[in-house]
Structure 1
Amino acid sequence: MSKKIMILLIGIVVLNFFSLYIYNTNKNTSKISTDDKNIIAEIPEANIRLYYKKEESGMYKDFVLEIDKKKYFFYWKNTTNPVYNPKLILSDLNQDGYKEIIVILTKNIGTEVNVQEVHVIEINTMIEREVENPIHIIYKNVKTKLSSEQIEITINNNIKILDKEYIDIEPQNLLKDIAFGNVIKFEVEENKLYAVIPAQIASSSFVGNIKIKYIFQGKMYVMETIDFIPIEL
C-alpha cells in the first residue's frame, strides 16, 4: 500500500471518529420524534422549541431542544406544575458575538421551596457549558452569624450587620444560623447570568438575597461578583 493511500485512510478514520464524537457530544437526535402537544417553551422568532418526552411522578423528563428543526436530547427534569414551566432565554453571556441558549428549569417546589437549575448552551456549537453551583459559591465566600439581637453576614471580609428590626421572631423559632438553598433562582440581565438565593432565618422568614453574577472563564461560568442585598423594611 502506498504512503499516500495510507495517509488518506488514516485521515478518513480520524474524520469519522471526530464526526462521531461531535454527534455524541451535541446529542443531535434529528430523527427523534416530537409531538407539538409536548412543547413546553419556545422562542418562535428564533425557531427554538423545547419538548418533553415523558411525564412521570409529577415531573417532565427527557427533553428535546429543537433549533431550526435540528433536535438535541437532554436528560433534564422539570416539575409539571405549569406555574414553573421552563424558561428559554437568548443572550450573549460570554461576549463572543454569538447568543447562548439559557434554559432555566424548576427541579423542586414545595412549602418555602423553589429550586431552579440552569443550563447554558452555545448556539453555534451546541456545547453545554457548566455553571458553578451557587450554593458551593456561598459556602466558599460567605460566613454568617445569627442571634436574637443581630444578623452578621461576611462576604470576602466585607461585613454587613442587620439589627434587631430584621428579627421580628421569637428566639425559640430562629434557626441556629442563616440557611441557604431552599430557594435558588436564576435570571439574565443585560447579557449577564445571575443566581439569587434568599437568606432564611426561620420558617417563612427571609432577610435578603445573596446575588451572584457569573462570568465565562476557561470552559465554564464562575462567580464574578457576590453581594448580599437586604430586604426593604
Structure 2
Amino acid sequence: MKLVPKFTFIAIAVSGLLLSSPHASAADNVQLEIDGKTETDGTAYLSKGTTFVPLSMFKSLFDTPILPHPSGKRAEVQFARQLYTFHDGSAIVMNDSHSYKLQAAVSFENGQIMVPLRMIAMLTGSSVSWDSGKKRAVMKSSPQGKLALIAADASISVKLYETRGRKGLVLDVDGYRKMYDWSYTDETGTPPVLLTADLNHHDGGKEIVVILTTGRGTGLNIQQVHVVDVGSFKEVKVEDPLSYVSRNVQSQISETNQGVEISMTLQGKPVQLTKKNPGFNLNGKVGFGSIIYYHVDQGILKATLAGSISNTEFIGDFDLTYVYEHGQLKAGKLQFTADP
C-alpha cells in the first residue's frame, strides 16, 4: 500500500536505506557517520548492497540494554518499551506486537550481532545516505529530535514515533512526517494501535486510525482515538463518546429485596435490569468513563464504554457506532449488551 499525502512535507529518506556502491566487493568495511560524528570501531561493513552495523549501537546511542541468549544465536533489545528479538541467520525481527522483514539476514560474527542499518534507522526515525567518495554511510537523527518507533501498521508504510525528551508523537507516512500533540500512558504495557481504513466510504481513500491507552489499572482502561486524513495530514474530529453516552442514557438505580433494579432509557428506549447488590458504594445512576476502548470493524469506527453501578460492579457494555458526516466522525447508533 502506498499512501502519499497531497502536499509536500520534508521527505525523510527512510525508504532509501539500501546503501550500495558499485565499487564495493562482497563484504567491505565502511565508515559510519552518525549526526556528524564518525564511528571509529571499524565494525560496519557493506555486503551485497546492504550496510551492516553492530547491534551494540543501540546501547551506545540510546542506553538500551542488549540481552544475549545463552545459545549465542539470539539476542533481545528493549527499546521504547518493546522487546525486539533478533535471530542469527533470520531476516525477520519480532517484537511484542509486530514482525519486521529486513532486506538481509542478521549475522552473528566475532561476538558481534550485525544487523542492517536500515533496521536501526527505522526504529529510531533516522535518515541514511551514502557518501560514495568517502565510502561512508551517514545516519542523521530526525529534525523532530531523537525518535523511537512505538507502532506500525500491517504494511509498515505508516509508523508512529515518540519523541525523546519532548511532548508529542510523530506520524510517518511513507517518509512524510508531522508531529501531533498526542500523549499516551507508557507504563500500561499496551502499545498503541495503528491502522488504516476508509472511514468516510466516499472518496476511496484511507484514514489513519491511532488508538492510544491513556490510563489503565484495576477497573480502569481508558483509550483515546485520533483519526488523520492521509491526503492533508489534518486530524478528523471524533465526537467524544463519554459526552454522547451521558446525554443519551438516563438511568436510575434502586435497591429492592431481589437485588438492584436498574432502569435506563437508551436513546428513548426503556431498558430494565436486575443485578446482585454489590453491598457497598452503590451509585445513584449508571456510571461511565472508567473503561473506554475503540476498534474498527469493516471500515466503521466503534467505541465501547462499560457501565457501572458501583466502583467495582459493571452491568454491561454500551457500544457506539460512528458515522462520517461533514468532515467529522459523529456518534450514531448506541446499543447496550448486558453482562451475563
- What TM-score comes out, normalization by structure 2 length? 0.55
Range moving further from structure 2, 217-226 or 79-88:
79-88
Q: Which residue in the other structure is 1:216 paired with?
A: 324
One of 255, 268, 271 as aligned partner of 1:160: 271
Deviation for aligned residue 1:34 = 5.7
One of 49, 60, 64 as aligned partner of 2:170: 64
Q: Which residue in the other structure is 2:212 paired with?
A: 105
Letter in 1 for 2:267: N
Contact map agreement 2:160 2:169 (CA 8 A) in 1: yes
Following the alignment from structure 1 to structure 2, what is the Cα–Cα distance between the partners of residues 122 and 182? 29
User: What stretches of structure 1 of length at least 5 have no aligned partner?
Assistant: 1-21
Q: Which residue in the other structure is 1:132 paired with?
A: 239
Contact map agreement 1:78 1:85 (CA 8 A) in 2: no
Contact map agreement 2:146 2:164 (CA 8 A) in 1: no
Q: Which residue in the other structure is 2:35 paired with?
A: none
Following the alignment from structure 1 to structure 2, what is the Cα–Cα distance between the partners of residues 211 and 179? 15
Closer, same or farther: CA 29–109 of 1 in aligned 2, 3 Å: farther
Following the alignment from structure 2 to structure 1, what is the Cα–Cα distance between the partners of residues 227 and 153? 15
Following the alignment from structure 2 to structure 1, what is the Cα–Cα distance between the partners of residues 195 and 314? 28
Contact map agreement 2:188 2:215 (CA 8 A) in 1: no
Q: Are 1:39 and 2:146 counterparts?
A: no
Kindly tell me the number of residue pairs found equivalent between the two proteins.
199
Contact map agreement 1:185 1:195 (CA 8 A) in 2: yes
Aligned residue for 1:135, secondary structure, equals: helix
Deviations for 1:166-195, whole angstroms, at most 9, x for unmatched residues?
Answer: 22421x431222110111111111110011
Following the alignment from structure 2 to structure 1, what is the Cα–Cα distance between the partners of residues 326 and 221? 30
Deviations for 1:119-146, whole angstroms, at most 9, x for unmatched residues?
Answer: 1111122221100000111122110111
- What TM-score comes out, normalization by structure 1 length? 0.79
One of 223, 226, 230 as aligned partner of 1:123: 230
Deviation for aligned residue 1:79 = 0.9
Deviations for 1:50-88, whole angstroms, at most 9, x for unmatched residues?
Answer: 1000368xxxx4111111111111111011125222110
Contact map agreement 1:151 1:161 (CA 8 A) in 2: yes
Following the alignment from structure 1 to structure 2, what is the Cα–Cα distance between the partners of residues 29 and 137? 39
Following the alignment from structure 1 to structure 2, what is the Cα–Cα distance between the partners of residues 94 and 44? 21
Range moving further from structure 2, 45-54 or 62-71:
45-54
Aligned residue for 2:315, secondary structure, equals: strand
Following the alignment from structure 2 to structure 1, what is the Cα–Cα distance between the partners of residues 10 and 220? 34
Following the alignment from structure 1 to structure 2, what is the Cα–Cα distance between the partners of residues 82 and 140? 30
Following the alignment from structure 1 to structure 2, what is the Cα–Cα distance between the partners of residues 202 and 208? 13
Q: Which residue in the other structure is 2:251 paired with?
A: 144
Q: Which residue in the other structure is 1:190 paired with?
A: 298
One of 61, 80, 83 as aligned partner of 2:189: 83
Deviations for 1:200-230, whole angstroms, at most 9, x for unmatched residues?
Answer: 1112210101111000111211112011111
Q: Are 1:226 and 2:319 counterparts?
A: no
